[in-house]
Amino acid sequence: MYTNMLDTNSAPLRIIPLGGLGEIGLNMMVMEYDDSIIVIDCGLMFPEDYMLGIDIVIPDISYLKKNKDKVKAFIITHGHEDHTGALPFVLRDIKAPIYGTALTLGLIKEKLAEFNLDRETEFKTVRPRDTVSIGPFDIEFIRVSHSIADGVALAIKTPVGVVIHTGDFKLDQTPVDGEVLDYARFSEYGEKGVLLLLSDSTNVEREGYTVSEKEVGITFDEIFRASVGRIIVAAFSSNIHRVQQVINVAEKYGRRVALNGRSMVANVGIARELGYLKTPEGLIVDLKELDTLPPQRTSLLTTGSQGEPMSALTRMAMDDHKQIKIQKGDTIILSSKFIPGHEKAISNMMNHLYRRGAEVIYEKVSEIHVSGHASQEELKVMLNMVRPKYFIPIHGEYRHLVKHSQLAERVGVKKENIILAEDGDIVEIAGDGAAIKERIEAGKVFVDGKGVGDVVDMVLKDRKYLSQDGLVVAILALNEKTGDVIYGPDIITRGVVFEEESAGLLEGARNVVLGAIGAINLEAKTDLLEVKEEMRRALRRFFNKALERKPVILPLIIEI
């Protein structure tokens, strides 16, 4: 267990999660000592069902903006978007170098180039077991296994002790690239004494051990051996290990591989250039060549495994892809998990693929996907290797954090040394112990098109009402001096009722508006805001009583 003594005279170390503690994704952790801040990961999450029209969600970085002069670096554990995707938005306000492994930085550069931020950003490439000094922090990068190559954990030496941040990890004994998690370094730190462990909680509900990525390769082999038509594999473009296994089995059975989808083409290109993806000469062909090859000699790697509306695979399913038409005898492999909230879209896509004559293989019917996160027994191994004094579970919804806390207690971490923190909590560790001291502003910022943060909860509520209960527009012309009604009101609805068959209802709405205006005193009648609010209240009550619906009410007043 932890043996190093804390310096009772030193300033406290502050651990401040801005995302990833209370949700899956959005990972961002601030570590602050004195006048220096490092930011570990900078991720996004994809919108939930109620976030109508939202493209992505990023963390609220108000705290970083207030302390931008303290921010010394972004330390990125791996290249998944839930750890990197917010960088294009955060770097607009916070300028600091980015540290990461070669593949991680390659993927980040590609993303930042879309926002013209790649040339003005400083990149620092590191390798596992490298150590860098940033202000009061000495950071060693430790190799871990995950569902993307080149992932690392962090051992951070601070003035108050060593902090280990696992990043995302699992204990894969047979990784595709042969790079096993660095058990030795974790154990060495455990022997010397670790003050705090921050550990991935994503799979804490799963008993036992997570299946090795190589098992997917065995399933691919079975499918490729049995298939006589074209094979189309849909996977996350960042999962280079999965892509490598498709290439390996395609080569074994004499199939050429074409790439489809912008991110698939880009990420495979980056991985090949950096040496993370091994592809025999001539195996990868241009998409245009697929039609010149016999079906049993072709395969396709594509994006769109989540049924995204404009993705490559969805367009194929709808027979709307310019270059690829699904044929009878095609085998489609959805080699990824179904992200919560996407189930309906994926189901619809699969139904259309079956209508085209294809056979679809997915996680529920075949072992064509495994998780990249540690299950319960692996989490116990990590705790026993590191043997921390304090423990904070990270990366998960609240129930995951609770269950990981219980797991840590079972393997020997003292209950009083386990800190159940959420986004915005400030955890301070000093000579007198560790505890949550205060809270700061934290939460979710919505990105909608070019707008960042301009869509708030009230806007989402209006979108919800519009989608469920429709819109009512009330048009009225008033005398600007007396407030008397000159024209109207005209009541126009969209998504509420069919107007030609609801004349009586709309006449009732008109009368309600006239009654509400008639009840306003003479002085208030010349105040447009007051008149609009009275119209809105009256119509809201009317439609709620008449239809038990709450349409969005939009009063339009013309002064004459």
Q: pLDDT class for 555, splitting at 50, 70, 90?
A: confident
- Please write the tens of the pLDDT for every residue from 486-530: 887 888 887 777 666 677 888 888 888 888 888 877 766 667 777
Residue 108 parent element (H or E): helix 102-114
Calculate mean pLDDT across residues 301-321. 88
Is residue 454 pLDDT above 70, yes or no?
no
pLDDT in tens, 170-227: 999 999 999 999 999 999 999 999 999 999 999 999 999 999 999 999 999 999 999 9
Yes or no: say if 464 and 481 are a contact pair by the CB < 8 Å rule. Answer: no
Separation CA 558–CA 480 (nearest Å): 9
Task: For residues 45-73, give the mean pLDDT.
Answer: 80
Query: Taking 80 as the threshold, does the pLDDT of residue 465 lie above it?
Result: no
Summarised one tens digit per residue, pLDDT across range 92-143 is: 999 999 999 999 999 999 999 998 999 999 999 999 999 999 999 999 999 9
**Look-up of token digits 């085998």:** 331
Q: Rounded to the nearest 5 degrees, what angle is found at the Cα of 523, between the Cα atoms of 522 and 525?
A: 65
Q: In the chain, what are the domains? A: 13-208+371-450 (3.60.15.10), 214-361 (3.40.50.10710), 457-559 (3.10.20.580)
Please report which confidence band the pLDDT of residue 341 belongs to, taking 50, 70 and 90 as the band edges: low
Distance CA 200, CA 404 (A): 9
pLDDT reading at 254 higher than 50: yes
pLDDT at 457: 52
Region 252-281 average pLDDT: 94
- Among candidates 282, 321, 283, 310, which has minimal Cα distance to 299? 283
Please say whether the beta carbons of 441 and 425 come within 8 A.
no
Catalytic residue, candidates 146, 165, 241, 373: 373
Q: How far apart are CA 320 and CA 313, in angstroms?
A: 10
Binned at pLDDT 50, 70 and 90, residue 295 comes out as very high
- Residue with token string 């126009």: 492
Please choose, from the candidates 100, 2, 3, 84, the residue with its C-alpha nearest in 3D space to the C-alpha of residue 44: 84
- pLDDT at position 132 is 98
Q: What is the pLDDT of residue 455?
A: 42
The four Cα atoms 43, 46, 52, 58 give a dihedral, to 10 degrees, of 0
Q: Which residue has the higher pLDDT, 522 or 248?
A: 248
Task: Please give the pLDDT value at position 363.
Answer: 78
Kindly report the average pLDDT of the chain as a whole number: 89
Specify the pLDDT at position 119. Answer: 92
Spatial distance between the Cα atoms of 58 and 40, rounded to a whole number of angstroms: 15
Query: With pLDDT > 90 as the criterion, what percentage of the chain qualifies?
Result: 64
Residue 200 known to be catalytic: yes
H helices of 285-342, in order, are: 312-317
Q: What percent of the chain has pLDDT over 70?
A: 90
* Beta bridge mates, 256: 298
**String of DSSP letters for 454-523:** ---HHHHHHHHHHHHH-EEEEEEEE-TTT--EEEEEEEEEESS--GGG-HHHHHHHHHHHHHHHHTS-HH
For residue 38, which phi and psi values (nearest 5 degrees)? Answer: -115, 145
373 is catalytic: yes
**How would residue 244 be classed by pLDDT, with cut points 50, 70 and 90?**
very high
Confidence of residue 308 (pLDDT cuts 50, 70, 90): confident
Token pair for 57: 């969600």
Q: According to the model, what pLDDT value does residue 62 have? A: 92
Say how many residues make up the chain: 560
Residue 365's pLDDT is what? 63
Mean pLDDT, residues 34-55: 78
Query: Residue 127: what residue type?
Result: R
Q: Which of 168, 200, 425, 448 is catalytic?
A: 200
